[in-house]
Amino acid sequence: MSRASDHAYAAIRAMILSGELAPGAQLSEEALAEACGVSRTPVRDALRRLEGETFIRRSGSQRSFVAEWSLNDLEDAFELRAMLEGHAARRAAARINGLQLEQLRAHNRRIHEAVSTAQPDVMCFLEHNRLIHAIILEAAGSPRLASVLGLLVEQPVVWRTAQHYDRENLQRSHHEHEELLAAFARNDGTWAAAIMTAHIRRAFHAYRDAYQAQLGEPQLSAA
Amino acid sequence: MSRASDHAYAAIRAMILSGELAPGAQLSEEALAEACGVSRTPVRDALRRLEGETFIRRSGSQRSFVAEWSLNDLEDAFELRAMLEGHAARRAAARINGLQLEQLRAHNRRIHEAVSTAQPDVMCFLEHNRLIHAIILEAAGSPRLASVLGLLVEQPVVWRTAQHYDRENLQRSHHEHEELLAAFARNDGTWAAAIMTAHIRRAFHAYRDAYQAQLGEPQLSAA
DNA sequence: TCGCGGTATATTGTATACAAATGGCACTGG
DNA sequence: CCAGTGCCATTTGTATACAATATACCGCGA
């Protein structure tokens, strides 16, 4: 979709990610239309897309609400994600090329810089971490796997809680990426899959701790 | 969505499944609207939904086409499906209850009847096969897994090629279901996962053979 | 006071009209 | 004959008006 619809999609998505629209909040098409400066038609398009990505849940009578994530949901999603990313790593190990390997190394170097200081640059970590996983997914060469994983990874909870990583977890992630690189360099799919699965499982527990910590401080803002 | 939108969705979906709308065919919103007896608005809704389910692909300039499946796509989707259904079976083995077990037995008995005759009742097989997998998915107790698998399983290729199963394959499926039941009855997740993965892999090769056979007879109709 | 019913209001669904953009085609110039 | 270009037809995007439906609120009666 062109301008208006895309704009509405991006705007609503951003509002959800930033927490401006809190989980459980009801969404009025008209209100969103006014907020985005477009009519209801493109807003409806955007809502349908966001519903497909489980950003939004719809009640029996078709009203829209920002999706809420229980601890069970988080656990459920991460179990799947661990399996799928492990699978992606296994495939990637067999297919990865020199350029991709070098790109992975570069991103992990940037991560190393970001997390070595006393005050780690979490945003920088998140961005390069995202790129690393994207490159692995690309190397895995499975479009379906990529789209399915996208649904699991690009979620508000993941994004919001990830910002609460502590320094130790960030450094461990860097180290696990190093191990992944070693496995890739040797085209050892079994090794890569094991590291990746462990990587995601550990991340899950970090997320869960952060998630539970959040329960104490409701209405967490974007920062 | 209520009447019109749901109707458009169901109608277009059926037209694709039946082959009335062939893979690669361009879809005109206006033409579909007329065919469904509704306006373009609900048709657009339906197209967005179908796009999310990869029934439809959209060109760079937003035109809609019935999705085409290459052999690679089929292989890709089935590899994922084998892994995910195996996972579902593992989880189901640990959680399944007596009622579900009995329902599975009942459905597999119906399958047995359907495939034991000289002229197997393929439709009956497909329906009860679908229900069996649905019950297992329900027993697995993972909403995400269910929705992700839904995207992979409910596809036109799968449906269309499944109708070309030969009698031997149908009977093998019945037998594999029996083994699954044995694994479930003993809550042996490892066994169940192994059977299920093998079950899907074998089905894949059957699908592939049917798919390739189809290449010889283009414009295959619904029957 | 509680439950019920009905009306008012808010919200979503549908149709239609118009705007924008894309793709095809014919025509022109080389 | 080919490449490039401009116009026209088709198709999709957006806005708006109206219809249908769900929710909330208030008053009535038991």
| Alpha carbons B223 and B208: distance in angstroms, whole number | 19
Question: Average per-residue pLDDT in chain A?
Answer: 92
**Chain B contact for A179 (CB, 8 A cutoff):** no
Q: How far apart are CA B11 and CA A84, in angstroms?
A: 34
| The token pair that represents A139 in the structure block | 């190397």
Q: What angle do CA A148, B80, B186 make, to 5 degrees?
A: 115
Q: Which of A135-149, B22-36, B117-131, B203-217 has the lowest mean pLDDT?
A: B203-217
Question: Is A48's CB less than 7 Å from nucleic acid strand C?
Answer: no
To the nearest whole percent, how much of chain B has pLDDT over 70? 95
What does the pLDDT average to over A172-196?
98
* Distance between CA atoms of residues A198 and A82, nearest Å: 8
The Cα of A112 is separated from the nearest Cα of chain B by a number of Å equal to 33
- pLDDT score for B221: 38
Residues 6 or more apart from A67 whose CB is under 8 A from it? A23, A54, A55, A56, A57, A156
In this complex, is the C-beta atom of A146 within 8 Å of any C-beta atom belonging to chain B?
no
* Residue A158 pLDDT grade (very low, low, confident, very high; cuts 50, 70, 90): confident
pLDDT at A220 over 60: no
Lowest pLDDT segment from A119-128, A144-153, A154-163: A154-163
pLDDT, tens digit, 9 for 90 and up, residues A62-104: 999 999 999 999 999 999 999 999 999 999 999 999 999 999 9
Q: Distance of CA B29 to CAs A196, B45, B60, Å?
A: 44, 10, 16
B199, two tokens: 């079950």
How many angstroms separate the CA atoms of B100 and B135, rounded? 7
Residues of chain A with pLDDT > 90, as a percent, come to: 85
Check A145 against B80: CB less than 8 A apart. yes
Helix (H/G/I), strand (E/B), else coil: B25: coil
Question: Does the beta carbon of A177 lie under 8 angstroms from any beta carbon of chain B?
Answer: no
pLDDT tier at B13, thresholds 50, 70, 90? very high
